[in-house]
Every structure is written in C-alpha cells, then in structure tokens.
C-alpha cells in the first residue's frame, strides 16, 4: 500500500529506506535554514541534492547514490554530517544511523500480544483512566473510567485509527494537528525494522487509503519515541480536562494512564466523571478471553 510519495509498508520499508528518509528530510529543510539563498527558479520544496552534498562535505554523485540506494554502507561520519545538515534531533539521528546499519533478515514469527492476568486486576483498582495498548495502538483492555473519558478507548478499538478517522475523536482533542503528528511519528518509530508484521501492514494500508492527513504525515518520515506528555481534551459531559499521559511497559504491551494535577479543576472534573462511570474494567476486546492474545490481521494487498 502506498502513500502520496509512493511510500508504504511493504513497499518503502522493504526497499531503499535510507534513501527515502534522506529525500523526505531534505524536503523539510529550507535554504534559509542553512544560510543559502532560495532563488527564483527553485523547483524543490527544500534543499537540492547538491546543496546537501556541499554542506555535508561529500560529492554530489555520492549523495545521489545514497538516495537512490546504490550505496547502502555510508560511514558513521557521513551520516553524522548528513544529520547535521538535515537538522535532525537526537531521536531522528539515531533513526538515521539505524537505517544505515539495518541488514536484510528472514521474516520472524510474531508473538501474539498478551494482556497479563494481573493487568485486569490493576485496571480495576486504578482510580484514573487506564488501558492496555499493543504496539500498533490497539486497545486490548481498559477500565470503566477510560471508557467514560472516551468511548474510543473500548477494547477492540485502534487509537490511531480513531484519531485519524473518527470525527468525534478529532473534536475531543484540543490540538488534533499535534496529536496526529505525534501519533504517526510514534508509529513509524515503533515499526522499526518489523516491516513484515501483518498488523502494521494492515493498519498502514488502511490509513493510507482512508486519511489524507495520514498520507501527508507518513511521507514526512518523522520519528518520535514512545513517551508521555500533557494534553487537553474536550469532554462532552464534564468539559475541558488537562491530563498528563504516561506509558508504562507491562510485559509485551503498554499500560497507558491519564491523570490530572492533584487538586486542580481537572482533578475535580475527573472525580465527577468517575462517579458517573460504571465500576469495573472493560476487559478484553469482545470475543477474546481475558488473557487471550491480539492476533494480527491479514496483510493488506500491496
């Protein structure tokens, strides 16, 4: 499945990943950002290949070979220079170095994602919105307060799909543009070299077809680590909530929690929401036993 620059899991990821990343990132750097004049006849949105080569101290021909996949073994020094020219941060720089060091491997058998039995007990005891999330943003289990916060946090839903395709989820987020950009960048970082994972192939293929926003963000090749943050959401019952979000490893999955500052207005509103929510965890997705696995779906056609 391809996005707007001909890129998709199963196409881009299995081919010249380094070259595509270099191309995407140079498109995002303007001449002014590196001290060059734009000129009136510029036909590219960012830097030209020869400009990147000049600033990195390598030959234009060598850089062209890198972008086109004819040379896939650049030295760490060359990559560091390119990272500097492309103004990559530490996460993006690490990702670039990883692309160059990646080697072809035989497809690995993927282990299903299990929700540990103790996680259901933990969800039932937590007095804040909490849910268990798989690597592809699938909601595997959640407590009642999480569902009260957002019905899209029910087991069986996919958070990235809801964020990009559900109008109610878009209205729910105070800054939907930032939320989607961070989520897509996290997905790319999470995929890493698991390019043959059927669940990732299925999800990226579906979103590439259904969401222009996803296609635009995916073409940027942004990467972001799995971490927490602070967000403001618009709840239809209790109003605006300012919540912190943390993701905690729990075996092969993640426990995601939302919580307000103690004693804040959002804290009072969340307590009100908790009083309205039904007690008990939402449990696993319908049709799956409590400790069953998340089975990957079939790969979508290319």
Q: What residue spans define the domains of the chain? A: 17-101, 115-294
* Residue 105 confidence (pLDDT): 55
* Residue 42 confidence (pLDDT): 77
SS3 content of the chain, % helix, strand, coil (to 5): 45, 15, 40
* Residue 277 confidence (pLDDT): 80
Architecture of the domain delimited by 115-294: 2-Layer Sandwich (3.30)
**Structure tokens of 279?**
């007690």
* Residue 293 confidence (pLDDT): 39
For 84-122, b where at least 16 C-beta lie within 10 A, e where not — what string?
ebbebeeebbebbbebbeeeeeeeeeeeebbbbeebbeb
* Residue 35 confidence (pLDDT): 86
Instruction: Tell me the pTM.
Output: 0.78
E runs forming strands in the chain: 113-114, 130-133, 139-143, 229-235, 239-250, 253-259, 281-284, 293-294
Q: 230: buried, middle or exposed (CB in 10 Å: 19+, 13-18, 0-12)?
A: exposed
CATH of 17-101, one of 3.40.47.10, 3.90.550.10, 1.10.260.40, 1.20.1510.10: 1.10.260.40
* pLDDT < 70 stretches in the chain: 1-14, 39-40, 102-111, 278-302
Are both 17-101 and 115-294 of the same fold?
Answer: no
Please provide the DSSP assignment of 113-156 as one string: EE--HHHHHHHHH-SS-EEEE-TTSBEEEEEHHHHHH-GGGSTT
| Sheet containing 253-259, strands listed edge to edge, beginning at the edge strand earlier in sequence | 229-235, 239-250, 253-259, 130-133, 139-143, 281-284
Separation CA 173–CA 238 (nearest Å): 14
Phi, psi torsion values for 133, nearest 5 degrees: -125, 140
Query: 3-state DSSP call for residue 176?
Result: helix
Selection from 78, 237, 22 nearest residue 150 by Cα: 237
Q: What is the pLDDT of residues 106-151, one digit of tens each?
A: 555 566 788 988 999 999 999 999 999 999 999 999 999 999 999 9
């Amino acid at each position: 499945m391809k996005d707007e620059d001909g890129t998709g899991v199963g196409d881009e990821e299995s081919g010249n990943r380094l070259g595509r990343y270099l191309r995407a990132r140079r498109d995002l750097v303007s001449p002014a950002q590196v001290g060059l004049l734009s000129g009136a006849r510029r036909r590219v949105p960012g830097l030209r290949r020869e400009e990147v080569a000049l600033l990195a101290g390598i030959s234009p021909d060598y850089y062209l070979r890198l972008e086109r996949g004819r040379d896939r073994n650049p030295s760490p020094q060359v990559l560091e220079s390119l990272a500097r020219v492309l103004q990559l941060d530490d996460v993006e720089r690490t990702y670039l170095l990883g692309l160059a060091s990646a080697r072809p491997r035989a497809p690995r058998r993927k282990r299903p994602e299990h929700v540990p039995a103790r996680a259901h007990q933990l969800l039932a005891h937590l007095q804040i919105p909490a849910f268990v999330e798989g690597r592809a943003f699938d909601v595997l289990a959640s407590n009642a307060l999480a569902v009260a916060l957002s019905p899209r946090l029910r087991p069986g839903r996919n958070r990235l799909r809801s964020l990009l395709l559900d109008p109610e989820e878009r209205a729910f987020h105070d800054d939907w543009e930032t939320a989607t950009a961070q989520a897509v960048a996290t997905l790319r970082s999470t995929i890493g070299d698991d390019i043959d994972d059927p669940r990732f192939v299925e999800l990226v293929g579906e979103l590439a077809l259904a969401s222009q926003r996803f296609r635009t963000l995916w073409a940027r090749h942004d990467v972001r680590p799995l971490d927490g943050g602070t967000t403001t959401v618009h709840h239809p019952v209790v109003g605006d909530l300012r919540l912190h979000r943390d993701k905690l490893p729990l075996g092969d999955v993640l426990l995601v929690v939302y919580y307000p500052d103690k004693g804040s207005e959002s804290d009072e509103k969340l307590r009100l929401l908790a009083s309205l929510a039904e007690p008990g965890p939402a449990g696993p997705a319908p049709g799956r036993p409590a400790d069953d696995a998340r089975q990957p779906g079939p790969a979508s056609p290319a």
